[in-house]
A = this chain, B = another copy of it.
Amino acid sequence: MSDPIFTPALPPLAPGATVADLGEAALIARIRHRVPKSPSWVPVSIGDDAAVVEPARGTLDVVTTDTLVEGIHFHRSFVSATDLGYRALAVNLSDLAAMGASPRAALLSLVLPPPLPAADIDDLLDGLLGLAGRYDIALVGGNITRSPGPLVVGITAMGTVRRRRVLTRDSGRPDDELWVTGALGAAAAGLGWLRTGQATPGDRFIEACVSRYRRPEARVRVGTLLGRNRSVRAAVDLSDGLSDGIRQIAAASATGAVIDSEAIPIDPGARAWFEQQGADPIAAAVAGGDDYELLVSVPRAFRRRFHTIRRLTHGVPMTRIGELTRERELILRSSAGDQPLPEPWAHFGNYE
């Protein structure tokens, strides 16, 4: 980020002060106070009608927006305000990573219930700005409004990618290998554990799953690296699960896919949790969302370059799980035989 500059200390909050006690102007002033000095490519930042950002030279703008709604995407009892701020930015960074784009700037939209403690906004900013700082992302604007119901946190994230380096869903071809980053199922297991209402996990594997749910790791560097080096063709993030991701690439690319069930990398803690619940770990990991790993397609001609790049991803594992096919079916293959790829969870209609 930019050089630290002298700023007077934030005025302390009165104990128990709510968002309604402070009001919009004071909340915006607190946020401005917390945001580091704008980099030189942001001539107008928070506090005007809109933000002004100088485009990066020779690149395209990539822009995405994602919103977290209380009661739908999170419960305040499961996710702290700090985690929520982190998570709201992370899910957007994951979308940029899936385009091969480097993040640059973000806008924050808050719809706040008036009784919300004002300290929660400080905490939310802690989580958001902590993650933003790791990638030199400037928070350049946003808006605050009252909510008659749930807390809603929206982020618009902007990034850059070079022309002909954009990773799109529709560029997969038959015979492309499908690779996935990291391991799946941890976030779903973590959420499952939180829903049991227990106080603290006694188990460090479950602890890790809960932490993955609360603070998803967007694959920012991997996405940028893969895009920049033309080592993969199609890409999608697994926000809605592996089954959904495969469907998205296959549908957009007009292909089918065969997935090797035994190859799917499942988080060990998640596997233990699902087995303990009497659930099939593979089915749960394939259908469950919130993992924010990347699914990419690697054409034959890119394989050598892909393996070179894979060594540069600093310990992020990548696993080959199948391939795209000319036949339009989506198949989950195991030693027991082929079956249709399970349907993803329908987030909108049938949640809970």
Verify B43–A63 contact, CB threshold 8 A.
no
Contact flags (1/0) for A155-195 with B, using CB distance below 8 Å?
A: 01111010000101110000000000000000000000000
Q: Which segment, of A68-76, A310-318, A322-330, faces chain B?
A: A68-76
Verify A237–B69 contact, CB threshold 8 A.
no
Q: Which segment, of A47-55, A121-129, A282-290, faces chain B?
A: A47-55
Which chain A residues numbered 38 to 69 have a C-beta less than 8 Å away from chain B? Answer: 43-44, 47-55, 60-67, 69
- Indicate whether A299 reaches chain B with its CB closer than 8 angstroms: no
CB distance from A167 to the nearest CB of B (A): 9
Which chain A residues numbered 92 to 117 have a C-beta less than 8 Å away from chain B? Answer: 94-96, 98-99, 101, 105, 107, 109, 111, 114
Verify A52–B161 contact, CB threshold 8 A.
yes
A111: B residues at CB distance < 8 A: 67, 69, 152
A133: B residues at CB distance < 8 A: none
Verify B349–A70 contact, CB threshold 8 A.
no
A256: B residues at CB distance < 8 A: none
A51: B residues at CB distance < 8 A: 62-64
A119 CA / B316 CA spacing, docked (Å): 45
Number of copies of this kind of chain in the complex: 2
- Indicate whether A232 reaches chain B with its CB closer than 8 angstroms: no
Verify B158–A63 contact, CB threshold 8 A.
yes
Knowing A20-B348, A23-B349, A107-B156 touch, does A143 contact B50 (C-beta < 8 A)? no
A147 CA / B351 CA spacing, docked (Å): 11
Task: Pick the residue among B60, B64, B109 that contacts A154 (CB under 8 A).
Answer: B109
- Indicate whether A137 reaches chain B with its CB closer than 8 angstroms: no
Verify A236–B49 contact, CB threshold 8 A.
yes
- Indicate whether A21 reaches chain B with its CB closer than 8 angstroms: yes
Knowing A50-B98, A65-B143, A99-B50 touch, does A148 contact B148 (C-beta < 8 A)? no
CB distance from A174 to the nearest CB of B (A): 20
A197: B residues at CB distance < 8 A: none
A61 CA / B53 CA spacing, docked (Å): 5
- Indicate whether A279 reaches chain B with its CB closer than 8 angstroms: no
Given contacts A49-B169, A67-B109, 17 further A-B contacts (CB under 8 A): A22-B349, A25-B348, A44-B166, A47-B169, A49-B64, A49-B95, A49-B235, A63-B107, A63-B141, A65-B65, A65-B107, A67-B111, A67-B145, A146-B351, A147-B150, A149-B150, A152-B152
